[in-house]
Structure 1
Amino acid sequence: MASLRDLGLSEYEARAYRSLLNTGPTTAKELSRASDVPMGRIYDVLNSIEQYNLVRSQTASRPKKYVAVEPSTALDRLLEDKKRELEEKADQYESIVDDLADELDAAEPVEEQFWTAAVGPEETKDLLLERLAAADRDIVMVSSHPSPQWDMQAASEEINAQLEDALDRGVSIDLLMTREMVGSMSEEVGRRYRETLQQRDDFDVRTNDDITGSFNIIDGVEVCIQVPNPLSSGEAFAMIDLKDPEFAANVHEEFVPRWDEAESLEF
């Protein structure tokens, strides 16, 4: 059950505010009795919720009286305070991430063959997005057919966003697709490509039906290979990510003639 404590009030502060809603204008002594907040604490509690702008005081009266601000106004004020706290926390975390990114990027990468795999639609998509985000120099993307288990519009939008980020980092991108793959894209996806990618100098997209399989080469040293389902050739089953400069060079060597023969595409 929701509580005023969820919005930052202490137990005593929550009791005092709720009691003020019931009592109307009242003194600290009367409120202490009504709320079961000890008399030795009631003034500190009232000062605190007054700072939250949840109560108003009548200083001219003797003894001083307090009245609760209307609940809708009080809740809005507490919510704004929480939002402000979260924004400040987010700024702090972003600053920490920036500092750590500089520190961790300074470490020398380990040049050793390594592979990993992901099975399932969400897992394969997440692996692809992760590796695109890791690119520093160039990305080669080859896609021969759509993956039926993916929501193509949602997946394309996420991939599009990663490609935009990569271009902003100075990464060049070559995208080679079959006509079937192009035809599977929605008009909305095509519009986004036209508006966000097509005009970028380091982005080039071409079509060639003489390709099979789907894979991505990252920085010339890493290959993400889509593994087809053995029971359904048109459906992806998994993705293997292999970091091996020699293998990546061999894959790129096979890619180049098909790229040279491909036709430029405008969405």
Structure 2
Amino acid sequence: MASLRDLGLSEYESRAYRALLQTGPTTAKELSRASDVPMGRIYDILNSIETYNLVRSQSASRPKKYVAVEPTTALDRLLDDKKRELDQKKDQYEDIVDELAHELDAAEPVEETFWTAAVGPTQTIDLLLERLAAADDTIIIVASTLSQQFDIGEIGALVAEQLQNALDRGVSVKVLMRPELVDLLPESVGDHYAATLSSHPDFDVRTSTDVSGTFNVIDGTEVVIEVPHPLDTEEIFAMIDLKDRSFATGIKNEFSPRWEAAHPLSF
């Protein structure tokens, strides 16, 4: 059950405000009895909720009297305070991330083979997006079957965003696909890529019939291989990420002549 404590008030502050709503204008002594807030704490509590702009005081009266601000106004003020607090925390965390991003330099890559795999729609896309986000130099995308990477929906938008981020940080992106895939893509996909990526000088798309498999090569050191679902080739079943420089170099060597012989695609 929701309570005023969820919006930042203490137990005593919550009791005092609720009691004021019931008593109407009242003195601190009377409020202490009505709210069960100890007399030794009641003035501090009243000063506190007055700081929140939840009560108004009549200082001209003797003794001083207090009245609660209407609940709708009070709740709006508490909500605004929480929003400001969250905005400040957001800015604080962003500053921390910016600082740590410069401090936590990744170690030099170890020339050791390592592989991992993800199974299931969410996990496979998470792995793909993670590896695209890690690219420092080049991203090569090869597609022989229709892939969710080129979907105009949520997945395609996430991939396009990562590719745009990669381009912005100086990564070159090359996409090589079979020509028949172009006709299978929704027209909106072409419009999407044309509007967001194609104008960038480091983004290039070509078509070739000499293409097999669907995979990405990241920085020439790792290969992210898409495994289609056996019952639906348009669905991704699994993703394998293999970090092996010699294997990736072999893939890239096979890719280079096919890329040079491929036909540029204009969106």
Q: Name the TM-score, length of structure 1 as normaliser.
A: 0.92
- Give the 3-state SS of the residue equivalent to 2:9 in structure 1: coil
- Distance (Å, rounded) in 2 between the aligned partners of 1:38 and 1:184: 74
> Contact 1:153/1:185 (CA < 8 Å) preserved in 2?
no
- Distance (Å, rounded) in 2 between the aligned partners of 1:68 and 1:123: 52
- Distance (Å, rounded) in 2 between the aligned partners of 1:184 and 1:120: 24
- Distance (Å, rounded) in 1 between the aligned partners of 2:150 and 2:253: 29
Residue 118 of structure 1 corresponds to: 118
Shift of 1:261: 2.5
Letter aligned with residue 7 of structure 2 = L
Q: Could you report, residue by residue, the CA deviation over 1:5-27 in whole angstroms, capped at 9, with x for unpaired residues?
A: 00100001011111111221111
When residues 56 and 188 of structure 1 are mapped into structure 2, their CA distance, relative to the original with a 3 A threshold, is: farther
Shift of 1:180: 4.5
- Distance (Å, rounded) in 2 between the aligned partners of 1:51 and 1:116: 55
- Distance (Å, rounded) in 1 between the aligned partners of 2:46 and 2:175: 64
When residues 62 and 188 of structure 1 are mapped into structure 2, their CA distance, relative to the original with a 3 A threshold, is: farther
When residues 63 and 113 of structure 1 are mapped into structure 2, their CA distance, relative to the original with a 3 A threshold, is: same
- Give the 3-state SS of the residue equivalent to 2:104 in structure 1: helix
Residue 78 of structure 2 corresponds to: 78
Q: Could you report, residue by residue, the CA deviation over 1:145-193 in whole angstroms, capped at 9, with x for unpaired residues?
A: 2347997511100001101111111111001223454345444443331
Residue 260 of structure 1 corresponds to: 260
> Contact 2:151/2:157 (CA < 8 Å) preserved in 1?
no
> Contact 1:221/1:249 (CA < 8 Å) preserved in 2?
yes
Shift of 1:232: 5.2
Matched, 1:172 2:172: yes
- Give the 3-state SS of the residue equivalent to 1:105 in structure 2: coil
Q: Could you report, residue by residue, the CA deviation over 1:83-133 in whole angstroms, capped at 9, with x for unpaired residues?
A: 111222222222222222222225333232111011111111110000000
Residue 57 of structure 1 corresponds to: 57
Q: Write out the 4+ residue segments of structure 1 that deviate beyond 6 Å after TM superposition.
A: 148-151
Letter aligned with residue 248 of structure 1 = A
Letter aligned with residue 132 of structure 1 = L
Residue 88 of structure 1 corresponds to: 88
Shift of 1:230: 4.4
- Distance (Å, rounded) in 2 between the aligned partners of 1:146 and 1:55: 63
Letter aligned with residue 153 of structure 2 = Q
> Contact 1:121/1:149 (CA < 8 Å) preserved in 2?
no
Residue 239 of structure 2 corresponds to: 239
Letter aligned with residue 68 of structure 1 = A
Residue 217 of structure 1 corresponds to: 217
- Distance (Å, rounded) in 2 between the aligned partners of 1:13 and 1:181: 65
Letter aligned with residue 201 of structure 1 = P
Structure 2: gaps (5+ residues): none
- Give the 3-state SS of the residue equivalent to 1:200 in structure 2: coil
Q: How many correspondences in the alignment?
A: 267
When residues 130 and 230 of structure 1 are mapped into structure 2, their CA distance, relative to the original with a 3 A threshold, is: same
Shift of 1:4: 0.5
> Contact 2:149/2:156 (CA < 8 Å) preserved in 1?
no
Letter aligned with residue 241 of structure 1 = D
> Contact 2:140/2:217 (CA < 8 Å) preserved in 1?
yes
- Distance (Å, rounded) in 2 between the aligned partners of 1:226 and 1:93: 35
When residues 126 and 35 of structure 1 are mapped into structure 2, their CA distance, relative to the original with a 3 A threshold, is: same
- Distance (Å, rounded) in 2 between the aligned partners of 1:238 and 1:256: 26
Residue 45 of structure 2 corresponds to: 45
Q: Name the TM-score, length of structure 2 as normaliser.
A: 0.92
Shift of 1:231: 5.2
Structure 1: gaps (5+ residues): none
- Give the 3-state SS of the residue equivalent to 1:125 in structure 2: helix
Residue 7 of structure 2 corresponds to: 7
Matched, 1:198 2:198: yes
- Distance (Å, rounded) in 2 between the aligned partners of 1:9 and 1:98: 32
- Distance (Å, rounded) in 2 between the aligned partners of 1:122 and 1:183: 27
* Greater Cα shift, 137-146 or 39-48: 137-146
- Distance (Å, rounded) in 2 between the aligned partners of 1:67 and 1:169: 58
